[in-house]
Amino acid sequence: MSELEETIVAVASPPGGAARGIVRMSGPDVLHCLETVFRADGPQKPAEVERPTALAGTLHLNSLASALRCEIYLWPGRKSYTGEPVAELHTLGSPPLLDLLIKQLCAAGARLAQPGEFTLRAFLSRRIDLTQAEAVLGVIDAHDQQQLDVALEQLAGGLAQPLHTLRDALLDLLGHLEAGFDFADEDLPFIAAEELERQLAAAAEITDKLARQIGTRATAQQLPRVVLIGWPNTGKSSLFNALSEKSKAIVSRHAGTTRDYLTAKLDLDGVSCCLIDTAGVDMETDLDAPANASPDVEQESVEQESVEMARQQAQQAQVRILCIDSTRRPNAWEESRLAGRHAQSEADSGRQQQLIAWTKYDAAESFAEGNAAPPDAVPSDSIATSSFTGKGIDELRRRMREAVLRAVASSSAVVAPTAVRCRESIRLAAESLGRGREIAQGRIAADRENSAQENGVQENGARIIDGEELIAAELRVALDELGKVVGAIYTDDILDRIFSRFCIGK
Ligand SMILES: Nc1nc2c(ncn2[C@@H]2O[C@H](COP(=O)(O)OP(=O)(O)OP(=O)(O)O)[C@@H](O)[C@H]2O)c(=O)[nH]1
Ligand SMILES: [Mg+2]
């Protein structure tokens, strides 16, 4: 008997006693196994059910004198999670009782399910693809709302959909090319070189976009990064301590206290992030400049290194909090950041979020003149804060939460293992498509040259076929790689790696 012909059973509720315990079964013998333990209250028997149905009744276990209440949820056909008959028995969540139930179902012909076997069956019956199988894991393992959101989006096909569409388009294209080989004697190509090049370019663009989405942004397991950035002595470390409710960062009245950067995990009302305190910047610091390709480490002073580290942290973060000391006038660097913030917020909409924290506001209020921001003049995209009195800290946390969610929503984050697996495959697919496109471009150029010289069609035609075969070969590689991601092509190794991480009953 093949494994798929066997009926599997497992406890699907969490271990330990509970008011409700769930036993899940899947496979062709589900109805027969149910008959041996379950009696429905009403006239309808499980074997007569034709569509997904809930039935109330009693459980009859051989070694128990009395019957127990039980509801069963039955999917008798192929429209179930696993694509085969499935039943869930909901009864009292007593571990010895559930053991007895499982034993009796096994005696009736079922066998114990392996970890992840229900989801594996869903995959094998094409109810879900591999990215969604990993998303099931992501949902089960989610530790906070953000991880749950990412996993649910992936489960709904967020990533799978564009990949499937791309694969379908490439399969069509390959079909056209191969039809051309079958009729190689005809002079006309089945797809014009320009059209072939255009379609390859479109596919390469989509692949690049997917690769960027997956490659550069956070995965659900890498926390979104929120960085405190600003001039020395503006109160960044004090804000870090106030937000993280710990006195981890050293605070002093001397500018340049923080040299390294510090991190703390924050829970913003169900949304986690990593908060980073950095060293103060200097006049030369351009937060958006590309990284210094070959920093001369020997020559760099500690200050320069600290500033460089702060700049890198600012670039890697999804959210920046620009700290401005409200007890003094903004300096030139701060003025330029404040002046450019609207342009930046439009250019970066989604990519990177920025908030402005006016710090030391308790002192600003007592300084009537000469400070940066009189109490009633804080712009609407800013928050007036004081780490001493706690003013504005809750508001800042609320705004941080919104900014993190905005950044995550625009990042197409994926469940971490999917990201790792996808990245390499999509890179290889993009490379193949790029090579295919180069061949097509070379052929167009050669065709033009030939027609200018009015060369013979036959000679030209022979080269067309050569080029098309090479393009078809590249297309096949790209399709295989994309197929690995969506699960159209999979190896035992990939299946093992994914499904061995599931727990029994899922
Ligand atoms: N009145 C007032 N003073 C503050 C507040 N926050 C920080 N300070 C003071 O400002 C000074 C600098 O604070 P830090 O938190 O060390 O500032 P920083 O931005 O981390 O400084 P560097 O690490 O040197 O860049 C210290 O003397 C703090 O006591 C505040 O909310 N109110
Ligand atoms: Mg500091």
Query: pLDDT tens, 423-479?
Result: 778 888 989 999 999 988 887 787 777 766 654 444 444 444 467 888 999 999 999
Measured CA distances, 290 to 183, 276, 284, 285, 293 (Å): 52, 20, 14, 11, 8
Partners of 93 in the beta sheet?
A: 18
> Which residues in 211-229 are b (16+ Cβ under 10 Å) and which e?
bebbeebbbbbebbbbbbb
* E strand or H helix that includes residue 461: helix 457-486
For position 76, what pLDDT does the model report?
Answer: 92
DSSP E strand stretches across 16-147: 18-26, 38-40, 53-59, 68-75, 86-93, 111-112
Partners of 319 in the beta sheet?
A: 226, 353
CA 413 to CA 150: how far, in whole Å?
A: 6
Q: How many residues can be counted in the chain?
A: 506
- For residue 328 the two structure tokens come to 């003094």
3-class secondary-structure state, position 5: helix
Top pLDDT among 153 and 458 is at: 153
User: Which of 45-59, 155-169, 179-193, 212-226 has the least mean pLDDT?
Assistant: 212-226
In whole numbers, what is the pLDDT of the chain averaged over residues?
Answer: 80
For position 321, what pLDDT does the model report?
Answer: 95
CA 186 to CA 457: how far, in whole Å?
A: 12
3-class secondary-structure state, position 386: coil
Q: Work out the end-to-end distance of the chain between its first and last CA atoms, rounded to an integer number of angstroms.
A: 23
Ligand 1 pocket, 165 CB below 6 A?
no
Name which of 131, 218, 94, 191 is nearest 426 in CA terms. 131
224 with 273: CB under 8 angstroms?
A: yes
Residue 274 neighbours by CB under 8 Å, 6+ apart: 223, 224, 225, 226, 263, 264, 265, 266
CA 245 to CA 346: how far, in whole Å?
A: 33
CA 109 to CA 33: how far, in whole Å?
A: 7
What's the mean pLDDT in 295-312? 71
**Alpha helical stretches, state H, 142-253:** 145-155, 160-182, 193-216, 236-244
What's the mean pLDDT in 290-301? 53
Measured in whole angstroms, how far is the alpha carbon of residue 32 from the centre of its chain?
A: 41
State pLDDT tens for residues 68-118.
Answer: 999 999 999 888 989 999 999 999 988 889 999 999 999 999 999 988 889
Instruction: Using the mean position of ligand 2's atoms as its centre, give its distance from the Cα of residue 17 in Å.
Output: 50
Choosing from 247, 248, 251, 322 the residue with most ligand 1 atoms within 8 A of its CB, the one to mutate for a pocket test is 251
Residue 173 neighbours by CB under 8 Å, 6+ apart: 191, 196, 199, 200, 203, 475
Partners of 111 in the beta sheet?
A: 8
- Among all bound ligands, the one having the nearest atom to the CA of 255 is 1
CA 137 to CA 417: how far, in whole Å?
A: 10
Ligand 1 pocket, 328 CB below 6 A?
no
Q: What are phi and psi of 199, to 5 degrees?
A: -70, -35
Ligand 1 pocket, 257 CB below 6 A?
yes
CA 181 to CA 179: how far, in whole Å?
A: 5
> What pTM value is reported for the model?
0.54
Could you tell me the sign of the dihedral formed by the alpha carbons of 452, 453, 455, 461, in that order? Answer: negative
3-class secondary-structure state, position 229: strand
* E strand or H helix that includes residue 275: strand 271-277
Instruction: Using the mean position of ligand 2's atoms as its centre, give its distance from the Cα of residue 362 in Å.
Output: 19
User: Which of 316-325, 370-379, 400-409 has the least mean pLDDT?
Assistant: 370-379
Please report, rounded to a whole number, the percentage of residues in the chain having pLDDT higher than 90.
29
**393 pLDDT above the threshold of 60:** yes
Choosing from 228, 233, 361 the residue with most ligand 1 atoms within 8 A of its CB, the one to mutate for a pocket test is 233
- For residue 217 the two structure tokens come to 């942004």
DSSP 375: G
**Ligand 1 atom nearest residue 240's Cα:** 15
Query: pLDDT class for 373, splitting at 50, 70, 90?
Result: low
**121 pLDDT above the threshold of 70:** yes
Measured in whole angstroms, how far is the alpha carbon of residue 65 from the centre of its chain?
A: 51
Half-sphere exposure of 249 (CA within 13 A, CB side): 30
Determine how many CB atoms are found less than 10 A away from the CB of residue 231: 22
Q: Which residue's alpha carbon is at the smallest distance from atom 21 of ligand 1?
A: 233
> Which residues in 106-129 are b (16+ Cβ under 10 Å) and which e?
eebbbeebebbbbbbbbbbeebbb
What's the mean pLDDT in 277-291? 79
**Ligand 1 atom nearest residue 251's Cα:** 16
**2 pLDDT above the threshold of 80:** no
- Among all bound ligands, the one having the nearest atom to the CA of 238 is 1
Give the environment of ion ligand 2: residues with CB less than 5 A. 237, 257-258
DSSP 48: G
DSSP 113: P
Burial bucket for residue 475 (CB in 10 Å: 0-12, 13-18, 19+): buried
- For residue 311 the two structure tokens come to 């700049």
CA 385 to CA 394: how far, in whole Å?
A: 9
- Judged by phi (left if over 0) then psi (alpha if -120 to 50, else beta), residue 392 lies in left
170 with 203: CB under 8 angstroms?
A: yes
Top pLDDT among 17 and 390 is at: 390
Top pLDDT among 89 and 2 is at: 89
Instruction: Using the mean position of ligand 1's atoms as its centre, give its distance from the Cα of residue 234 in Å.
Output: 6
Residue 308 identity: E
